[in-house]
Every structure is written in C-alpha cells, then in structure tokens.
Structure 1
C-alpha cells in the first residue's frame, strides 16, 4: 500500500442542539495523544447554547476550532457537511458526530493508517442511556470510560463488541482482518482524503437521515476508492439519546437513491458541493 502521511488533518464533527454531548466530545479531543489537527464543527443550525460551548473550548487554547453554522431549516446535515468540505484547507478529513467520544489515540490511529486510494472505516460502541448520562469530564480525561471492566461495572451489557476496546495490537490486527462487518463509510467514524471526497462532489444533499453517509461511501467505491477496516483500531463511544428525525418516507427515498447508485455505478452527484442546473 502507498502510505502517505497527511499534512493537515481535520475532524469534522456534526452537531445539532446537543451542547452537553458536544462538550464531552470536545474534552475527548483535548485528550488526544496526537494534537496536530483542526476541529471543524458542522453545525446544522444549533442555538446559542452550542455556540457558548464552542467559545468556551476555544478559550482553553488547546484545540484549533472552527465553527461552521447555517440557519435551522430542518435536517440539512449533508448541506453543512459540504460547506465544511468546501471551506477547509485540510487535506485529510475524519468524520464523526457530536455524540461520539474519541479514545485518546483516535487521531493518531487515523493518521497512521491513512492510505492513498483508500478510506478508513472505524468502529464505535453504543452506550446505554444510563451509562451515557453517567460520564463526566474527569472520566473522559482519565480514559476510564474506555476500559471494558469499568463499563460493565457501570451497567453496560457484556458484549463481544466491547473487544473494540482491547489494547492488544496483535488482537486488534486479527479482529480487523476477521470481522465479517464490511468496511463501509459511516458517519460516526470514517476518514478519507479531501480530494477523493471532492472528486465525487461530496454528500448528496437530497439525502436526509438514514444512509446518507453510506451513500457517499458507495460513490467512493464506484470512483475506485477502496476501504480499509480499522473497526478495532480507531474507537469512539456513542452516547445514547432520542432521535426525532427518522421518518419512513425519508428512509424509502434514501434506499431508492442508494439502490440506483449501486445499480448504475454512479460516483458523481449533481446535488453536492458543486450545484448543477439539474433540479430534483
């Protein structure tokens, strides 16, 4: 493989009116062993509470933080993501959500595994609501939340998925090779070269909640970009919370669009970063 060290890494974090979760996530990025990155907040119209959290973290002087915001006009995650992609000068982008706390080696792993011609597909562990609500600043900074035994003691159910938290490099390598889960693009933990993403025109802005990340990854595949599994190497914890933006009709539209992308080997969308005269 042609390994190439990214010069400028950006972490794109999507958020919408979840300031407490976002604060936990930003603490996780302050605790990174590799501090040479820029945090790019893709804000889908949050109110002043989220802005206040971001300004507070800017004042810490630890993170390079950019806040990209647009007006709240409903679920427009793909639009704000495309705006961030278009605006940044980072050459390598890690995509995650504002409810996913990264382990301290998260950036280091993505940087180390970055490979020309590939995107990276990382893993996450979905916490229960009680465990999510238990987590505080000190637990994140001390990294106790990434210990399997600690999570189980707090009430997280025992599961093979907790193996993602293993510190054994040998076991991680084996599990990454043997996992039956495909290395797809997922919005909680994936990364790729900005020029690859721009080459397919970014996210399709017709897509709403339900498969919008996978759809972009499928177009990357159609473009010839391959995927690399780091499910057990780059890990984050997903905080549980209610979701009010999932609707059957949206899922149906998204499913039909993804089916068309696969069947017709489509890599470019006319509804992405660059806008065409086509309407739909």
Structure 2
C-alpha cells in the first residue's frame, strides 16, 4: 500500500451502523485495491464511533473517521471536511447505505479522465431484502445476482437490467440513457483539485440536491461528465428519511437556480469561507 493511494473513497453516514457495516464489507471485496476510505460522519453517536474503531482494526484498507457534532442534517459541511482529509488526487463519493459491487472502484479508476467527472446511479432494494443481506452474501457477491434477489422477493422491473448488463450492453445503455450525467452523491467521482476549485459543497444547503448543485458548478467551471450508471453498480439499502423537509428542498432549489442563472463556478459558502460572510 502506497502512502498516497490512487483513490480516496468518501462514504457519508449518520447513526446507521447496520447499513454502514454492509457498505464497508463491500469495499473489502473490491478488485481495485489502492484506495483509502474517508467516513464522513454527520454527528453520529458512540455506537458508530466504536463500530468504526473496531472495523479499522480488521480492515485491509486505511479508514479515516471524520466527524463533527450533531447539528441536524449538515452533510455538505462534513463532506467538505472529508474532502480536506483525502490523501489521493482522485475522489469517489458514495453513501453508507450503498453496497458496492466488486468492480465498482475498478470502473471509476478505468473511466477517470482529466477534465471530466463520472456520474453513476444505484439500484434501490426494498427494506426486507436490505435487512436480509448478510456479510456472506456480500463477500460472495450473490447479493448482486438478479436470480438470487428474485428468490428473495425482488419484483420485476425494467431497472433490473442494471444488474444484468454485461460490459458492452452497459456502455450502449450509458450512451442511450436520457438520464442527465449529474453529480450524484451516492455514486460519482472526480479530481480533488476540481472539487477544491469550485470550493466543494455549498454549506447553506441541507437535504435535497446539494450534490447536483456541486455538479452544476463543475459544469460551469468547464468540466464535462461521463455516464457510468450501468457499469459502476451499487445497491441502495432502504431506510426512512426523517431529515427530508419541504423548506430545505425549496431553499436548495433557489440556490441551484441562482447557480445556473449566474453561471457560478464557485461558492463562498464551501470549504474556504468568505470573510464576514
């Protein structure tokens, strides 16, 4: 393991040890090995702190725990702290409720390119299957097998093709999909210098679109994006969203509208704070 890994993986979490544990198991199985994990912890309690401390002892990868006091939903703030903790010049971002397939980081590594960021998606599982997935299901990768999931009660859906697309089909689907290749916090990656150049996440923004707004500033900075939603696969574990509220969403929509209207490529409310702001 080199002192400065090729990739820094930022994983956000908040008081959700059961899901975080499954997520971290999936990174133990990655084919690509030269990476570190930065856990961006938005104020979790002692249970999460103790779990991470224990997991660090057995993990084959370096794990850095970045934490701040609980002050409501402040994901943008803790993600900026995590960006500053990265020891690599390339950053993959995901969430502590997303199990990454074994080739997840390999895809991000192979597709990375100067002047671009990568935009992936997720495959959302129902709650009962999310809870039923065991460590062994992750280590053997059977939790990504569509037939195995169907046997667990997964309903039929056109979205299931995400799990069955081979390399060629995935590339075709990515070229054809009408979905915008935006920055998606659960599965995106980019160069550390680019993230710092736009000053990271806007810390005025709480739940609802703060990742997209970051991507919009990257676009305004002149970057382009590449679609990897059918290649870099992660399973999203279901959970309640108690932090979701209309006021926050509406405020964030107004900030995003301003970013687009003014063609902003920098926020004064990000990693570096404007004096007297």
> Any conservation in 1 of the 2:101–2:234 contact (CA below 8 Å)?
yes
Q: Partner of 1:50 in structure 2? A: 48
> How big is the alpha-carbon RMSD for the aligned residues of Structure 1 and Structure 2?
1.2
**Map of 1:70-149 to 2, 5 A cutoff?**
70-149=68-147
Q: After superposition, what is the alpha-carbon deviation per residue over 1:234-273, rounded to whole angstroms, capped at 9, x for unaligned?
A: 0100000011001111111000110110111011000000
Q: After superposition, what is the alpha-carbon deviation per residue over 1:171-216, rounded to whole angstroms, capped at 9, x for unaligned?
A: 1111111111110001100000000000000000000000010000
* TM-score of the aligned structures, taking structure 1 as reference length: 0.95
Give the distance between the partners of 1:163 and 1:234, measured in 2 at CA.
13
Q: Quickly say closer, same or farther: Cα 1:79–1:140, change in 2 above 3 A.
A: same
Q: Partner of 1:176 in structure 2? A: 174
In the TM superposition, residue 63 of structure 1 has moved relative to its aligned partner by 1.7
SS at 2:33 equivalent: coil
Give the distance between the partners of 1:91 and 1:48, measured in 2 at CA.
31
Q: Partner of 2:231 in structure 1? A: 233
In the TM superposition, residue 54 of structure 1 has moved relative to its aligned partner by 1.1
Of 50-59 and 109-118, more deviation after overlay is shown by 50-59
1:197 corresponds, among 175, 188, 195, to: 195
> Any conservation in 2 of the 1:270–1:278 contact (CA below 8 Å)?
no
Q: After superposition, what is the alpha-carbon deviation per residue over 1:122-177, rounded to whole angstroms, capped at 9, x for unaligned?
A: 12101001111111100000101101111122111111212111251111111111
Q: Partner of 2:242 in structure 1? A: 244
Q: Quickly say closer, same or farther: Cα 1:265–1:278, change in 2 above 3 A.
A: farther
Q: Partner of 2:18 in structure 1? A: 20
Q: After superposition, what is the alpha-carbon deviation per residue over 1:27-49, rounded to whole angstroms, capped at 9, x for unaligned?
A: 00001111110000000111111
Q: Quickly say closer, same or farther: Cα 1:226–1:75, change in 2 above 3 A.
A: same
Of 162-171 and 110-119, more deviation after overlay is shown by 162-171
Q: Partner of 2:155 in structure 1? A: 157
Q: Quickly say closer, same or farther: Cα 1:73–1:172, change in 2 above 3 A.
A: same
Give the distance between the partners of 2:222 and 2:167, measured in 1 at CA.
29
* TM-score of the aligned structures, taking structure 2 as reference length: 0.96
Gaps of 5+ in 2: none
In the TM superposition, residue 64 of structure 1 has moved relative to its aligned partner by 1.0
Length, aligned pairs only:
274
Gaps of 5+ in 1: 1-5
Give the distance between the partners of 1:61 and 1:121, measured in 2 at CA.
27
In the TM superposition, residue 7 of structure 1 has moved relative to its aligned partner by 6.0
Q: Partner of 1:3 in structure 2? A: none
In the TM superposition, residue 8 of structure 1 has moved relative to its aligned partner by 2.1
Give the distance between the partners of 1:258 and 1:220, measured in 2 at CA.
13
